[in-house]
Chains A and B, each alone.
Chain A
Amino acid sequence: MEELIRTALDAAGERGVVQSEVRVVAPDRYLQLAVRNGSASALTDSRTSALGVRVRTRRAWGFATTSDLRPGPVREVAHLAVRLARAAGRSRREPLRVTDEGYPRGGRYETSLRHDPFNSSLDPVIDLLRTAEKRLHVSRTVKSGIASFSAWEENKWFASSAGASYTSRIVHVGAGVSATAVRGSHVQRRSYPASHGGDFSQAGFEFVEGLDIAGRAADVGGEAVALLDAPACPTATTTLVLGSEQLALQVHESVGHAVELDRILGSEAAFAGTSWIAPEKVGSLRYGSEFMNVVADATERGGLGTFGWDDEGVPSRRTAIVDQGLLVGTLSSRESAAELGLSRSGGTARASGGDRAPLVRMTNIDLEPGDSSFEELLEGVIDGVYMETNRSWSIDDRRLNFQFGTEVGRRIVNGELGELLRNPLYSGMAPEFWASMDAVGDKTTRHLWGLPNCGKGQPIQVARVSHGAPSARFRRVAVRGG
Chain B
Amino acid sequence: MAKRRAIPPEGDAVRLLENLPPRLAGDLRLTTTASTTIRFANNRIRQPHLERSRHVSLRVANGKRLATATGSDASQVGLESLLETARNLARIAPVERKFPGFRAPEGRRGRPVAFSSSTARSTPEAVSRMAEEVLAAAESAAPGARVAGVVVAGSETIRVVNSSGLDRSSDRSFAYGSVLVERPTEDPPVSGWSEGAHWDSGRLESAALGREAAERMARSPPERTEPAKLPVVLRGPAVADLLRFLASLGFAANGEVEGWSCLAGRRGKTIAPEEVQLTDDARSRESVPQGIDYEGTWTKPVPLITNGVAGNVVTDLITSGRLGLPLTGHALPPEAPWGDFGPVPSNLILAPGTASEEELAREVGRGLLVTRFHYVRVVDPGRGIITGMTRDGTYLIEKGEVTTPVRNLRFTESVLSALASIRAIGRARRIYSEGGGAVTAPALALGGFRFTSATLF
Which B residues lie within 8 Å of A39 (CB)? 94-97
B107 at the interface (CB under 8 A from A): no
CA distance A357 to B123 in the complex (A): 19
Which A residues lie within 8 Å of B454 (CB)? 401
* Min CB gap B139→A, angstroms: 11
Contact status of A48 and B52, CB under 8 A, knowing A403-B412, A429-B455: no
Which A residues lie within 8 Å of B258 (CB)? 37, 143-144, 180, 182
Within 8 Å by CB of A64, from B39, B50, B65, B85, lies: B50
* Min CB gap A112→B, angstroms: 27
Q: Which residue of B lies closest to A187 (CB)?
A: B382
B364 at the interface (CB under 8 A from A): no
Q: Is A45 touching B377 in the complex (CB atoms < 8 A)?
A: no
Contact status of A403 and B387, CB under 8 A, knowing A87-B125, A427-B453: yes
A73-97: which residues lie under 8 A (CB-CB) from chain B? Answer: 73, 76-77, 80-81, 83-85, 87-88, 90-92
Q: Is B377 touching A67 in the complex (CB atoms < 8 A)?
A: no
CA distance A180 to B261 in the complex (A): 12
Q: Which residue of B lies closest to A129 (CB)?
A: B94
B403 at the interface (CB under 8 A from A): no
A1 at the interface (CB under 8 A from B): no
CA distance A276 to B456 in the complex (A): 10
B354 at the interface (CB under 8 A from A): no
Most buried by A among B125, B135, B179, B376: B125
Q: Which residue of B lies closest to A53 (CB)?
A: B50
Residues 290-307 of chain B: 1 if any A CB is under 8 Å from the residue's CB, otherwise 0?
Answer: 000000000000000000
Residues 120-146 of chain A: 1 if any B CB is under 8 Å from the residue's CB, otherwise 0?
Answer: 001100100010000000000001100
Q: Is A90 touching B377 in the complex (CB atoms < 8 A)?
A: no
Q: Is A44 touching B67 in the complex (CB atoms < 8 A)?
A: yes
A116 at the interface (CB under 8 A from B): no
Which B residues lie within 8 Å of A49 (CB)? 71-73
B225 at the interface (CB under 8 A from A): no
B89 at the interface (CB under 8 A from A): yes
Most buried by A among B90, B131, B260: B260
Most buried by B among A45, A63, A81, A184: A45
**Number of residues in B with C-beta < 8 Å to the partner?**
93
* Min CB gap B319→A, angstroms: 11
Q: Is B46 touching A61 in the complex (CB atoms < 8 A)?
A: yes
Q: Is B381 touching A187 in the complex (CB atoms < 8 A)?
A: yes
Q: Is B38 touching A88 in the complex (CB atoms < 8 A)?
A: yes
Which A residues lie within 8 Å of B95 (CB)? 39
Which A residues lie within 8 Å of B396 (CB)? none
Most buried by A among B129, B135, B337: B337
B137 at the interface (CB under 8 A from A): no
Q: Is A266 touching B42 in the complex (CB atoms < 8 A)?
A: yes
B233 at the interface (CB under 8 A from A): no
Interface segment among B14-22, B143-151, B160-168, B441-449: the answer is B143-151
Q: Is A274 touching B184 in the complex (CB atoms < 8 A)?
A: yes
* Min CB gap B93→A, angstroms: 5
B79 at the interface (CB under 8 A from A): no
B40 at the interface (CB under 8 A from A): yes
Q: Is B71 touching A143 in the complex (CB atoms < 8 A)?
A: no
A115 at the interface (CB under 8 A from B): no
B259 at the interface (CB under 8 A from A): yes
Which B residues lie within 8 Å of A87 (CB)? 45, 48, 124-125, 128-129
Q: Is A44 touching B51 in the complex (CB atoms < 8 A)?
A: no
* Min CB gap A135→B, angstroms: 15
Q: Is A42 touching B335 in the complex (CB atoms < 8 A)?
A: yes
B429 at the interface (CB under 8 A from A): no
Interface segment among A169-177, A204-212, A281-289, A388-396: the answer is A388-396
B1-55: which residues lie under 8 A (CB-CB) from chain A? Answer: 35-55
Q: Is B50 touching A80 in the complex (CB atoms < 8 A)?
A: yes
Which B residues lie within 8 Å of A46 (CB)? 69-71, 335
Contact status of A394 and B376, CB under 8 A, knowing A40-B67, A144-B260: yes
Q: Is B135 touching A91 in the complex (CB atoms < 8 A)?
A: yes
* Min CB gap B317→A, angstroms: 13
Q: Is A268 touching B41 in the complex (CB atoms < 8 A)?
A: yes
Q: Is A123 touching B92 in the complex (CB atoms < 8 A)?
A: yes
Q: Is A41 touching B455 in the complex (CB atoms < 8 A)?
A: no
CA distance A30 to B391 in the complex (A): 36
B334 at the interface (CB under 8 A from A): yes
Contact status of A92 and B375, CB under 8 A, knowing A49-B72, A66-B53, A482-B385: no
* Min CB gap B44→A, angstroms: 4
* Min CB gap B90→A, angstroms: 7
Q: Is B50 touching A84 in the complex (CB atoms < 8 A)?
A: yes
Q: Which residue of B lies closest to A391 (CB)?
A: B379
Q: Is A47 touching B70 in the complex (CB atoms < 8 A)?
A: yes
Q: Is A427 touching B49 in the complex (CB atoms < 8 A)?
A: no
Most buried by A among B39, B149, B375, B410: B375
Q: Is A43 touching B67 in the complex (CB atoms < 8 A)?
A: yes
CA distance A334 to B423 in the complex (A): 52
Within 8 Å by CB of A66, from B39, B49, B52, B391, lies: B52
A186 at the interface (CB under 8 A from B): yes
CA distance A159 to B68 in the complex (A): 33
B237-273: which residues lie under 8 A (CB-CB) from chain A? Answer: 254, 258-260, 262, 264
B178 at the interface (CB under 8 A from A): yes
Q: Is A60 touching B45 in the complex (CB atoms < 8 A)?
A: yes
Which B residues lie within 8 Å of A482 (CB)? 379-380, 385, 412
A370-418: which residues lie under 8 A (CB-CB) from chain B? Answer: 391-398, 400-401, 403, 405
Contact status of A180 and B48, CB under 8 A, knowing A40-B67, A41-B337, A123-B92: no
CA distance A356 to B391 in the complex (A): 28
CA distance A355 to B149 in the complex (A): 21
CA distance A392 to B316 in the complex (A): 28
Q: Is B47 touching A91 in the complex (CB atoms < 8 A)?
A: no
* Min CB gap A96→B, angstroms: 9
Within 8 Å by CB of B52, from A42, A77, A122, A458, lies: A77
CA distance A84 to B48 in the complex (A): 6
A104 at the interface (CB under 8 A from B): no
Q: Is A77 touching B50 in the complex (CB atoms < 8 A)?
A: yes
Within 8 Å by CB of A45, from B42, B89, B132, B381, lies: B89
Q: Is B456 touching A185 in the complex (CB atoms < 8 A)?
A: no
* Min CB gap A132→B, angstroms: 13
Contact status of A68 and B52, CB under 8 A, knowing A48-B72, A49-B72: yes
Interface residues in chain A, defined as those with a beta carbon under 8 Å from any beta carbon in chain B: 27, 32, 35, 37-50, 60-69, 73, 76-77, 80-81, 83-85, 87-88, 90-92, 122-123, 126, 130, 143-144, 180, 182, 184-187, 265-271, 273-274, 276, 355-357, 391-398, 400-401, 403, 405, 423, 425, 427, 429, 457-460, 478, 482
What are 8 sample pairs from A and B whose C-beta atoms fall under 8 A apart?
A50-B72, A63-B49, A182-B260, A187-B383, A265-B42, A270-B150, A270-B178, A394-B410
15 further interface pairs, Cβ-Cβ under 8 Å (given A144-B254, A394-B375, A423-B380): A65-B50, A66-B53, A73-B52, A84-B48, A87-B48, A182-B260, A270-B39, A273-B374, A357-B49, A394-B376, A394-B387, A396-B389, A396-B455, A400-B456, A458-B49
